[in-house]
Amino acid sequence: MNLVLLGPPGAGKGTQAARIARTFALAHLSSGDILRAEVRGGSDLGRQAQSFMNAGTLVPDGLILDMMAVHMGTPGASGGFLLDGFPRTVAQAEGLDRKIGLLGRRVDHVIHLVVPDGELESRLTGRRSCPACNAVFHVANNPPKQADVCDQCGTMLVQRPDDQAAVVRTRLATYHELTGPLVTYYRGKGVLADVDGSQAPDRVTAAIEAICAPRP
Ligand code: AMP
């Protein structure tokens, strides 16, 4: 099974993706996490992507498609994958269809997490992330036991540069303009399901699992 998790920044894609990937034994491919690892590693791709990421705008489609094709083609992804943060434009979705079509595969479900913009802004600006293990906390809703220290690995937490208020507004505007049309694209293919992403995380997980569970 191949899944796409679609939703604005701050909708909870990362949290849900980790859980759903575990439940259905899928490779979790987060384009944002892969790009941040490229930036940290100082690769050519990381250097090309960094300025777009810091500004809250999208990295060019060609770079993203090539990068994701590599990750979708690894042996770890051969049993199915969950795409998180990709595709983000109609051109990326068309490129994805072409690339997995060549492998005789398809997108089985697209889960669309729906959350109002006001809630997204407070989720993102209060978010603190662990640069070592990618664990995510929130200053008010999910604080670490010790202020600014990762519960899982003890590393100092950081605010991602793109979680600052001005950049968050750009990211949300970019989402509505460029990623919003994907809802129509995938609804037209009959694979899209809307899920209320403002519910408690466990309820969101249960709703996604019910959509993806194999039919008898
Ligand atoms: P995320 O962690 O998914 O919010 O991604 C962080 C940043 O990485 C985004 O604001 C973009 O600059 C870049 N990025 C991640 N995924 C994509 C994508 N599919 N297409 C273009 N840019 C992306």
Q: At what angle do helices 201-212 and 13-24 cross, to 10 degrees?
A: 40
pLDDT one digit per residue (tens) for the chain, 216 residues: 999 999 999 999 988 999 999 999 999 999 999 999 999 999 999 999 999 999 889 999 999 999 999 999 999 999 999 999 999 999 999 999 999 998 889 999 999 999 999 999 999 999 999 989 988 899 998 999 999 999 999 999 999 889 999 999 999 999 999 999 999 999 999 999 999 999 999 999 999 999 999 877
pLDDT number for residue 21: 96
Calpha distance 114→129 (Å, rounded):
22
- 87 Cα nearest atom in ligand 1: 19
Contact 55/167 with Cβ under 8 angstroms?
Answer: yes
pLDDT number for residue 215: 75
pLDDT number for residue 32: 93
128 an active-site residue?
no
160 an active-site residue?
yes
